[in-house]
Structure 1
């Protein structure tokens, strides 16, 4: 849920001139799963605050990335992709999406340039059409994957979609987050749609996500790589403990991170661990490097794989795993 703030004119910083008021607010990227929302969030913030994967439904937590500018503070709310739910977890993820839509100041609708507009896009667009007061920007993502002709056709298709459903796009912007193309322009176009007001977060803050949650997400991202198609939705990670190693010299600190990787069935355990523990070791090595980069300190990562039977459908297990 987006934090409440006082955005009255009297709360503006005194140094801000009346001709160029400071703006601050929340923007949300929406779209069907794997439309590039998390990658775009990371590109705008300039660092990794949301995990990415080539698997759909990777995002499970609402992660806020914060873009600091002299004239504005843009807080990006990264949500799961809206999808047809098959489990209780899926229903809860959709609830997160709709709640977020109702609270933000502007919505960016992400549509990949390399895929034709389909039923999933129309489903989301119809729901967006009901949000009459919230400005909407159409963001055509992954432009590096298509030529100029295909991109032009997709931009026209997005414009038609808006007219068919009664959505007046504030802007239609093509971007490539991976190539860094027009990412700055997108920020320039989002800022005027935010309300006037002071900063919502201190300078230097890039996210309000707790470190333990971010560490768990980095481990889960590493665990998603190279597994069978059906397995990613069965993986959850909980960081049980993060503590500095006692007795270490000040110039050689070490952070002990103990985490559990949960799967739903005993038969999945071997897939995650791999022959002779090789896969789990690879997951640990990859995620440890990311965690050290995030926290700026050497890390000892202790990973264990545990079974939480059918956790996606069990309310008690979902609560235990943080959903």
Structure 2
């Protein structure tokens, strides 16, 4: 087609933790790319999901939730990733789930005011909100961000997604595709493997355990009929390692079974998955480790 009529741009999704940003990305893409859990701060790094059509390419950016009071250097790095999302955006989506107050969004709204790009406010989880609350949130954000278009969606149920996508396409800038049309993400397969394992940790463990773990795919051997994968799970203390392993290794075995199923579905072949747990003291404040893990 004529590239002069092709649209392409970066649509960056921001918001506070646990408002459904990753679920919204998955709804846009029509498949699960970003991990999700009921716990806040599940997303730690930036992920591009690339939605292609003949006449457009939409590059959705899922970022960590903005941490209001960072407790670790990890949180500071996550907030830096959010700041990066402001810099390269062609369109910004601010996601709110109706549970957070307008004042909690104050820093994000101030940053958005400075950006000369189209802005969209998404009120997510409308299936869980009363009509009065939805109207109240709309009124608050209409006053705070009068230049923004507001959409009501349920990302989990894919309700309201089609008109939102149509609006985004309308406001995409004219530009050739940034990525080859057969690509759906900027991340390698190892990243998705690590994230699938980390998701199962978030879903299977309580309290501080999910937040104290980092997951790294150490080895990935793609053979004809099977992928052999070695994954390292880092924790901060020996007591956390014992919890991850569980009695006679039952807990980590369960994580492996669940993660292997998702990985096999994702790559389309049989997987041999080996999980190992290692203690890395205070890794969330270890600048070198954070840099090696891709946070800096």
Counterpart in 2 of 1:23? 7
Residue in 2 that maps onto 1:142: 125
CA distance in 2, matches of 1:154, 1:70: 36
TM-score scaled by length of structure 2:
0.94
In 1, distance between residues paired with 2:232 and 2:266?
19
Which residue of structure 2 lines up, in the alignment, with residue 299 of structure 1?
271
What secondary structure, in the 3-state scheme, does the structure 2 residue paired with 1:30 have?
strand
> Higher mean Cα deviation, 116-125 or 49-58?
116-125
The CA distance in 2 between the partners of 1:104 and 1:53, in whole Å, is 26
**What do you get for the CA RMSD once the two structures are aligned?**
1.6
Quote the residue 1:92 is aligned against.
77
Contact persistence 1:22–1:197 (CA under 8 A): yes
Do 2:72 and 2:285's aligned partners in 1 also have CA atoms closer than 8 Å? yes
- TM-score, normalised to structure 1, is 0.87
Corresponding residue number in structure 2 for 1:187: 165
Kindly indicate whether the alpha-carbon contact (under 8 Å) linking 2:35 and 2:195 is maintained by their aligned counterparts in 1.
yes
Q: Which has the larger radius of gyration?
A: 1
Contact 1:55 1:232 (8 Å CA) reproduced:
no
Q: Encode CA deviations 1:108-138: one digit per residue, 9 max, x unaligned.
A: 000103x14243222321222232x122111
Task: Write out the 4+ residue segments of structure 1 that deviate beyond 3 Å after TM superposition.
Answer: none
Aligned to 2:199: 221
CA distance in structure 2 between the partners assigned to 1:309 and 1:183 by the alignment: 43
Measure, in 1, the Cα distance between the counterparts of 2:220 and 2:37.
25
Equivalent residue for 1:108? 93
1:240-278 CA-to-partner distances (Å, cap 9, x unmatched) read: 101135xxxx5xx11110011101111111221122211
What is the CA distance between 1:199 and its match in structure 2? Answer: 2.0
Deviates further, 195-204 or 214-223 = 195-204
Residues 131-183 of structure 1: CA distance to partner in whole angstroms, max 9, x if unpaired? 2x1221111111111233332222122212225xxxx21x1011111111111
Higher mean Cα deviation, 57-66 or 144-153?
144-153
Q: Per the alignment, in what secondary structure is the counterpart of residue 225 of structure 1?
A: helix
For 1:49 and 1:226, how far apart are their aligned partners in 2?
20
Aligned to 2:209: 231
Task: Classify 1:116/1:62 alpha carbon distance in 2 versus 1 (closer, same or farther; 3 Å).
Answer: closer
SS in 2 for 1:82: coil
Partner of 1:6: none
Within the candidate set 2, 17, 31, 1:47 is matched to: 31
Shift of 1:65: 0.4
Q: Give yes or no for contact 1:238–1:260 (8 Å, CA) kept in 2.
A: yes
Spell out the pairing of 1:32-181 with structure 2 (5 A cutoff). 32-83=16-67, 84-113=69-98, 115-131=99-115, 133-163=116-146, 168-169=147-148, 171-181=149-159
User: 1:202, CA displacement in angstroms?
Assistant: 2.4
**Cα offset for 1:319?**
2.7
Give ranges in structure 1 of 5+ residues lacking alignment. 1-12
Question: CA separation in 2, counterparts of 1:120 and 1:305?
Answer: 37
Task: Select 2:238's aligned residue among 260, 263, 266.
Answer: 266
Question: Which residue in the other structure is 2:183 paired with?
Answer: 205
- SS in structure 2 at match of 1:137: strand
Cα deviation 1:66-93 (Å, max 9, x = unaligned): 1123432110011111112211111111
Does the 8 Å contact 1:89/1:313 carry over to 2? Answer: yes
1:241 aligns with 2:225: no
- Which segments of 5 or more consecutive residues in structure 2 lack a partner in the other structure? none
Give the length in aligned residue pairs. Answer: 294
